[in-house]
């Protein structure tokens, strides 16, 4: 869940070489985060520009956000060496929420609003915790911290206004997509930097 990788040059020790190979494999997935980040930004733009006059429209937009996010989490679970269960858990929950949104839009308006509000709140807390855990390894940890704080603030605001208006739900969907896009792009650039450093160390 963290992009804070500190590459180490190969020392000739088989164990160290294995660790370097694992690090190269993990950081080599930077492009997945890049694509996902761009996709989240596109989704946020679509959410804010599409006419959201009905609950059905809002449900479709929310379902797209949940399902895309869920699939991305499952893909990551198959690639990362650790935190697999966290990615699987978030992936399954997101996909189920997306299916529910498509199946029962009229009954799930308040539920969707609540889920989005708590999603932002929980993800913000996770971002803050990870930022502090990686502050000695990641020079850009403060950016993750800022994103986390913004998510928590928006999450608290959303919890206070659950069920008030469809327009607010659209704003929350867009906010969640933007926050996720920023986070994924941040991770992508961090992984790309680490991967380039590892390649340079290996060729030297």
Q: What is the pTM of this model?
A: 0.66
Does the pLDDT value for residue 88 go beyond 80?
yes
Per the CB < 8 A criterion, the answer to whether 190 and 142 are in contact is no
The 10 Å Cβ neighbour count of residue 128 is 18
Compute the chain's Rg from CA coordinates. 19
In a domain? residue 37: yes
Are 122 and 154 in contact by the 8 Å Cβ rule? The answer is no
**Does 130 fall in a domain?**
yes
For the chain, report the end-to-end CA distance as a whole number of angstroms.
Answer: 29
Q: How confident is the model at residue 43 (pLDDT cuts 50, 70, 90)?
A: confident
pLDDT at site 33: 83
Q: Which pLDDT band holds residue 196 (cuts at 50, 70, 90)? A: confident
Among the residue ranges 23-27, 30-34, 127-131, the one predicted with the least confidence is: 23-27
Residue 7 reports pLDDT greater than 60: no
Task: Identify whether 149 is part of a domain.
Answer: yes
Backbone φ and ψ of 134, nearest 5°: -110, 15
pLDDT at 15: 52
Q: pLDDT confidence of 13, banded at 50, 70, 90?
A: low
Residue 152 lies in a domain: yes
The answer to whether residue 6 sits within a structural domain is no
What's the pLDDT score for residue 165? 58
Residue 6 has pLDDT above 50, yes or no: no
Reduced to 3 states, what is the DSSP secondary structure of residue 125? helix
In a domain, 27, yes or no: yes
């Amino acid at each position: 869940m963290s992009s804070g990788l500190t590459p180490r040059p190969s020392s000739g020790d088989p164990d160290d070489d294995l660790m370097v190979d694992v690090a190269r494999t993990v950081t080599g997935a930077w492009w997945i985060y890049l694509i996902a980040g761009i996709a989240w930004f596109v989704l946020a733009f679509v959410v804010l520009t599409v006419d959201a006059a009905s609950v059905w429209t809002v449900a479709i937009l929310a379902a797209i956000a949940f399902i895309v996010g869920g699939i991305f989490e499952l893909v990551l679970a198959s690639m990362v060496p650790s935190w697999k269960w966290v990615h699987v858990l978030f992936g399954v929950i997101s996909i189920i929420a997306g299916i529910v949104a498509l199946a029962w839009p009229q009954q799930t308006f308040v539920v969707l609003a609540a889920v989005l509000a708590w999603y932002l709140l929980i993800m913000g807390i996770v971002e803050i915790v990870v930022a502090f855990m990686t502050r000695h390894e990641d020079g850009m940890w403060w950016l993750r911290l800022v994103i986390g704080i913004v998510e928590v603030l928006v999450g608290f605001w959303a919890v206070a206004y659950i069920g008030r208006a469809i327009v607010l739900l659209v704003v929350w969907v867009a906010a969640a997509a933007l926050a996720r896009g920023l986070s994924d792009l941040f991770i992508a650039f961090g992984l790309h930097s680490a991967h380039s450093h590892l390649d340079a160390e290996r060729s030297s």
